[in-house]
Amino acid sequence: MTLELRGVTRVVEGQVHVHPTDLVLEKGTMNVLLGPTTSGKTSLMRLMAGLDAPSAGQVIWEGADVTGKRVQDRGVAMVYQQFINYPSMSVYDNIASPMRLLGLPKDQIDARVRETAGLMKLDGMLDRRPLELSGGQQQRCALARALVKNAGLVLLDEPLANLDYKLREELRVEIPRIFEASGSIFVYATTEPEEALLLGGNVATLWEGRITQFGPTPQVYRRPVDATTARVFSDPPMNFLPISKQGSRLAFGDGQGAEANGSLAALPDGRYTAGFRANHLEILQHAPDALNFTATLTVTELTGSETFVHLDHHGERWVGLVHGVHDLRIGESLGVWLDPRHVYVFGEDGGLVAPASYALAA
């Protein structure tokens, strides 16, 4: 069982929503579409489902061309962030409705409804109508109805966005277990890199209607093929800094330099861009060979035991995530440190020329 997109594009009134895309998804896999709003995640899922027709290209399902086939005939289940339920039906009947259309036996329907309702924490609400539920409960009802269909392709478009934190964390753990048991192809859209990492499986990073990279989630996170992918798969987005290489040295600005060791030693002399994630920027030096920069503090955000520090480094906007709550003043000059082992190096075309040392060891 595979879903294959061959040169699929989507153009609406002259505006390209999806650039030519080739993608193969295998049976029993979790596949995360990761990208910011308007990057093309929902457009791509609608093409997979058959809700929209591609402007060019083919959609191949189990070896057959289904490009012009109706969504009703494809065996697809889809859940949106904006949940859809039947308001005149009870929660029980909402969940049972797909199985009744398939003509399944009553006892099998009842067992599956109650099992799925228990998973979604809806087992005490089966007699209620959707409008008697909270927004999060209504979304759980819609999600349960999709899961009981045992569809070959399950499309989840930011399905947990409206749920409270505790339930969202529980379902992030349960959804991979559900898909493994079903053997279906799961496609899950999100804007959150952390969610992609928690779900595991494969990830496709999207930017302005293009898939920039597709592969096993840890691999894409540790070794992004270019600066765009690194930006998408970092929260906050990856920080960047122009650098240059001369001989055996890398110059980072502010008079900072480092030896070009490992894969960096073979780089030709020239100009590059260094990239580093927020959690690798420190305001207290830890690594003995850390690079030290001076930046102006523009904003601080407390997140309980951690602090986001927004910095201006000669016009470059950086964000650091540091442990603890710190007494910092907006507008002050702040010394920050960066372990060179956590630095990615990108070429002038944006392509990755050297991953971070920690990524090589992972």
| Cβ–Cβ under 8 Å, residues 273 and 240 | yes
**Mean pLDDT value of segment 21-38:** 94
Q: What does the pLDDT read at residue 110? A: 95
- Domain segments of the chain as ranges: 2-228, 236-361
- According to DSSP, the β-strands at 76-79 and 153-157 are parallel
- Using pLDDT thresholds of 50, 70 and 90, give the confidence band for residue 119: confident
> Of 29, 14, 35, which is closest to residue 158 (Cα–Cα)?
35
DSSP one-letter code for 121: T
pLDDT at 281: 92
Look at 167 and 65; give whichever has higher pLDDT: 65
Query: Strand pairing of 15-26 and 185-190?
Result: unpaired
For Cα atoms 222, 226, 231, give the angle at the middle one, nearest 5 degrees: 75
Partners of 354 in beta bridges? 345
What distance in Å separates the CA atoms of residue 89 and residue 127, rounded to the nearest whole number? 9
3-state class percentages of the chain: helix first, strand second, coil last, to nearest 5: 30, 35, 35
In the chain, the amino acid numbered 170 is E
- Tell me what the mean pLDDT of segment 279-291 comes to: 82
> What is the DSSP-derived secondary structure letter of residue 184?
P
Token pair recorded at residue 166: 């505790």
Tokens of 218: 């840890």
Mean of pLDDT over the chain: 89
Provide the pLDDT confidence category of residue 140 given band limits of 50, 70 and 90. confident
- Segment among 11-15, 20-24, 145-149, 240-244 with least mean pLDDT: 145-149
DSSP 3-state of 78: strand
Could you identify the residue written with the tokens 């209620």?
128
How far is residue 282's CA from residue 266's CA, in Å, rounded to a whole number? Answer: 28
Residue 301 makes CB contacts below 8 A (sequence gap 6+) with 307, 308, 310
Q: Indicate the residue type of 253.
A: G
Report the largest interatomic distance among the alpha carbons of the chain, rounded to a whole angstrom: 75
Query: Residue 358: what pLDDT?
Result: 64
Closest CA to 267 of 212, 343, 213, 318: 343
What is the structure's pLDDT at 362? 46
pLDDT category at 137 given cuts 50, 70, 90 is confident
Identify the pLDDT of residue 72.
77
H helix or E strand, kind and range, residue 146:
helix 135-147
- What's the rounded mean pLDDT across residues 172-196? 83
Place of tokens 């070896």: 63
Q: Among 3.90.1150.50, 3.40.50.300, 3.60.15.10, 3.30.390.10, what is the CATH number of 2-228?
A: 3.40.50.300
pTM: 0.88
Query: What are the beta bridge partners of residue 24?
Result: 4
- Among the residue ranges 134-143, 263-272, 299-308, the one predicted with the least confidence is 134-143
Q: Which CATH class is domain 236-361?
A: mainly beta
**Residues 299-310: what's their mean pLDDT?**
89
pLDDT at 216 over 50: yes
Q: Report strand pairing: 202-207 vs 185-190.
A: unpaired
pLDDT of residue 81: 72
At 230, which helix (H) or strand (E)?
helix 227-232
Residue 26 makes CB contacts below 8 A (sequence gap 6+) with: 1, 2, 185
What tokens appear for 277 in the block?
């994630």
More confident residue, 177 or 78: 78
Taking phi first (over 0 means left), then psi (-120 to 50 degrees means alpha), and beta for anything else, what does residue 191 get? alpha
Beta-strand ranges (E) seen in 167-268 are 185-190, 202-207, 210-216, 239-246, 249-253, 256-259
